A = this chain, B = another copy of it.
Amino acid sequence: MSYLVLQERPKDEITDTTFKKVTEPLPETLKKGQVLVKVSYVSVDPAMRGYLADVRSYLPPIAIGAPMRAAGLGEVIKSENPDFPVGEIVRGFYGFADHFISQDGSDLEKLPFKDVEIPQYLALFGITGLTAYTGLMNLIDPKPGQTIVVSGAAGAVGSIVCQIAKLKGARVVGIAGTPEKVKWLLNDLKIDAALNYKSPDYEKEFVEATKDLIDGYFDNVGGKTLDLALKQAKVHAKFAQCGGISGYNGKVEPLYNYMNIVKFRIKLEGFIVIDFKSDFPKAIADLSTWLREGKIISRLDIIDGNVDELPRALAGLFKGANTGKRIVKL
């Protein structure tokens, strides 16, 4: 079995020397309670960049030499645990690894329903879908006729936020980084307006698309787009601060328009998905209903490869390489 450990903290971009591969033989026999999982899908997420930095955050940083932290899906291939028979598909935090040994099954989770594509358990029914649902509903709670702006709108979280806000009757403006993503947002997700933040006239286009001002802003990127959203905020606008991918590689774009927080009594709240754990059953019920009814698209950006592919797949997130939820299929 192979897995990646952190070799050196990246200064800015993730490189070939950020991780190191460790290879060990698979155990021949398991102890009572143990479960051997062959990992089939590994999630790569922007938040992982934060785990690699030695700074205070909501989770402790990965230590140098320690295995990377990552959610995954896998199949039980050997088991000394009656709760997890061979063949069962399970979700867990397996890391950047092709196999995982659970000591007692307590870190494994069975899938509640199987009539969906399995990788959706790392996407729509995983951290990203739940982040989109719980953050939007708790911190913004979009209403018919409101204008909701979503940054990173073609990403795994943003694309779900856009669609839930539409389902709730809001006018949705999505921000992305390529003409193809803009087209996808308009044609497939059918949101009301979509902008390319790399356009030379971006600021003007943003102001035009939000000329009736912003009721809610769901932020995945920080930086200039957050600053523009502050500029265009309506009185008592609500900002759900979910991420800041524009600054994850070390070059933070500063904010200037924060005095509007006072002037327009804006409420900005940061959150992470585990803050809303009690909402997960309702979130999964709603999301799976919408998926089955064809009311929501959860696009998967699946890369085939082995564990060696994972660092590049992760690095690509910070260059806007993905549309939808990026997953590596081992």
Given contacts A242-B262, A254-B254, A262-B244, contact A235 B267 (CB under 8 A): no
A98 to chain B, nearest CB (A): 30
Chain B residues near A128: list those with CB within 8 A. none
Spot the interface stretch: A11-19, A25-33, A190-198, A268-276.
A268-276
Chain B residues near A252: list those with CB within 8 A. 256, 259
A247 to chain B, nearest CB (A): 6
Expressed in whole angstroms, the Cα–Cα distance for A259 and B270 within the complex equals: 9
Taking a contact as CB atoms closer than 8 A, the residue among B243, B258, B263, B268 that contacts A267 in the complex is B268
Establish whether residues A58 and B254, one from each chain, have CB atoms under 8 Å apart when the complex forms: no
> Is the C-beta of A50 less than 8 angstroms from some C-beta in chain B?
yes
Chain B residues near A266: list those with CB within 8 A. 269-270
- A235, A247, A262, most chain B CB atoms within 10 A: A262
> Is the C-beta of A255 less than 8 angstroms from some C-beta in chain B?
yes
Chain B residues near A242: list those with CB within 8 A. 262
Expressed in whole angstroms, the Cα–Cα distance for A256 and B258 within the complex equals: 11
Establish whether residues A243 and B269, one from each chain, have CB atoms under 8 Å apart when the complex forms: no
Expressed in whole angstroms, the Cα–Cα distance for A269 and B264 within the complex equals: 10
> Is the C-beta of A265 less than 8 angstroms from some C-beta in chain B?
yes
Chain B residues near A262: list those with CB within 8 A. 241-244, 270-272
Establish whether residues B271 and A265, one from each chain, have CB atoms under 8 Å apart when the complex forms: yes
Size category, A interface: 20 to 34
Given contacts A58-B235, A58-B264, A275-B265, contact A222 B259 (CB under 8 A): yes
Residue of B nearest to A219 (CB): B262
Taking a contact as CB atoms closer than 8 A, the residue among B50, B254, B263, B268 that contacts A261 in the complex is B268
Establish whether residues B222 and A258, one from each chain, have CB atoms under 8 Å apart when the complex forms: yes
Expressed in whole angstroms, the Cα–Cα distance for A235 and B274 within the complex equals: 13
Residue of B nearest to A252 (CB): B256
Chain B residues near A258: list those with CB within 8 A. 222, 226, 241, 244, 255, 258
Chain B residues near A244: list those with CB within 8 A. 258-259, 262
Residue of B nearest to A235 (CB): B58
Chain B residues near A247: list those with CB within 8 A. 259
> Is the C-beta of A57 less than 8 angstroms from some C-beta in chain B?
yes
Given contacts A58-B235, A235-B58, contact A264 B256 (CB under 8 A): no
